[in-house]
Structure 1
Amino acid sequence: MANAQGFASMLLEAEQTKAPIEPFTQLAPTISLEQAYEIQLAYVEQKKQAGHKVIGKKIGATSKAIQNMFNVNQPDYGHLFDYMLYKSGDTINIDQLIQPKIESELAFVLKEDIKGPNITPLDVLLAIDYIVPAFEIIDSRIADWRIKFEDTVSDNGSSGLVVLGDQRLSIYDIDLTTIGLNTYQNGELIEMGTGSNVLGNPINSAVWLANALQQFNVPLLAGEVILTGAFTSALPIEKGDHFKAAFGQIGSVEVKFV
Structure 2
Amino acid sequence: MQETAAARAAETLVAEHKANTRFRTLAPPDGPATIVDAYDIQDRYVALLGSEHGEAVGYKVGLTSATMQTFCGIDHPIGGVVLASRVHRSGATVRRTDFGRIGLEFEIAVRIGSDVPRGPCTAATIAPHIDGVCAAIEIVDDRSADYSSLDVRSLVADNSWNAGIVLSEFSLAWPDLEAVLGRASKDGAVFGEGHGRDILGHPFNSAAWLATQLASRGRALKAGQVVMTGSVMKTVFPEEAANYRFDLEGIGAVAVEVR
1:63 to partner: Cα distance: 2.0
Q: Counterpart in 2 of 1:34?
A: 36
SS of residue paired to 1:62: coil
* Partner Cα distance (1:234, 1:43) in 2: 24
Structure 1 residues 30 and 194: CA distance shift in structure 2, 3 A = closer
* Partner Cα distance (1:3, 1:90) in 2: 37
1:123 to partner: Cα distance: 2.8
Asked if structure 2 preserves the Cα contact closer than 8 Å seen for 1:25 and 1:150, the reply is: no
Q: Which deviates the most, 144-153 or 122-131?
A: 144-153
Structure 1 residues 108 and 251: CA distance shift in structure 2, 3 A = same
Measured against aligned partners, the alpha-carbon deviations of 1:119-167 in whole angstroms (never above 9, x if no partner) come to: 232331111121110000111357445522212111111111100012x
* Partner Cα distance (2:95, 2:257) in 1: 9
Structure 1 residues 31 and 21: CA distance shift in structure 2, 3 A = same
Measured against aligned partners, the alpha-carbon deviations of 1:86-130 in whole angstroms (never above 9, x if no partner) come to: 111111122111112111011111121124312232331111121
Asked if structure 2 preserves the Cα contact closer than 8 Å seen for 1:69 and 1:233, the reply is: no
Asked if structure 1 preserves the Cα contact closer than 8 Å seen for 2:103 and 2:142, the reply is: no
* Partner Cα distance (2:52, 2:241) in 1: 31
* Partner Cα distance (2:79, 2:250) in 1: 27
* Partner Cα distance (2:67, 2:28) in 1: 25
Asked if structure 2 preserves the Cα contact closer than 8 Å seen for 1:100 and 1:137, the reply is: yes
1:71 to partner: Cα distance: 5.3
* Partner Cα distance (2:105, 2:134) in 1: 14
Unaligned runs of 5+ in 2: none
1:187 to partner: Cα distance: 2.3
- Please list, as runs of the form range in 1=range in 2, the aligned pairs for 1:202-241 lying within 5 A after superposition: 202-241=203-242
- Please list, as runs of the form range in 1=range in 2, the aligned pairs for 1:3-22 lying within 5 A after superposition: 3-22=5-24
Asked if residue 254 in structure 1 is aligned to residue 217 in structure 2, the reply is no
* Partner Cα distance (2:243, 2:71) in 1: 22
Q: Counterpart in 1 of 2:190?
A: 189
- Please list, as runs of the form range in 1=range in 2, the aligned pairs for 1:9-158 lying within 5 A after superposition: 9-24=11-26, 31-50=33-52, 52-67=54-69, 70=72, 72-141=74-143, 143-144=145-146, 146-158=149-161
Q: Which deviates the most, 217-226 or 202-211?
A: 217-226
Asked if structure 1 preserves the Cα contact closer than 8 Å seen for 2:99 and 2:141, the reply is: yes
SS of residue paired to 1:236: coil
* Partner Cα distance (1:69, 1:253) in 2: 29
Q: Which deviates the most, 120-129 or 42-51?
A: 42-51
Asked if structure 1 preserves the Cα contact closer than 8 Å seen for 2:107 and 2:230, the reply is: yes
* Partner Cα distance (1:61, 1:34) in 2: 17
1:67 to partner: Cα distance: 3.5
* Partner Cα distance (1:88, 1:74) in 2: 30
Structure 1 residues 13 and 111: CA distance shift in structure 2, 3 A = same
Asked if structure 2 preserves the Cα contact closer than 8 Å seen for 1:64 and 1:197, the reply is: no
1:214 to partner: Cα distance: 1.2
TM-score when scaled to structure 1? 0.91
Q: Counterpart in 2 of 1:165?
A: 168
* Partner Cα distance (1:93, 1:20) in 2: 18
1:26 to partner: Cα distance: 7.4
Q: Over aligned residues, Cα RMSD in angstroms?
A: 2.2
**How many residues matched?**
256
* Partner Cα distance (1:21, 1:57) in 2: 21
* Partner Cα distance (2:11, 2:199) in 1: 32
TM-score when scaled to structure 2? 0.90
1:70 to partner: Cα distance: 4.7
1:64 to partner: Cα distance: 3.6
1:174 to partner: Cα distance: 1.3
Q: Counterpart in 2 of 1:201?
A: 202
Unaligned runs of 5+ in 1: none
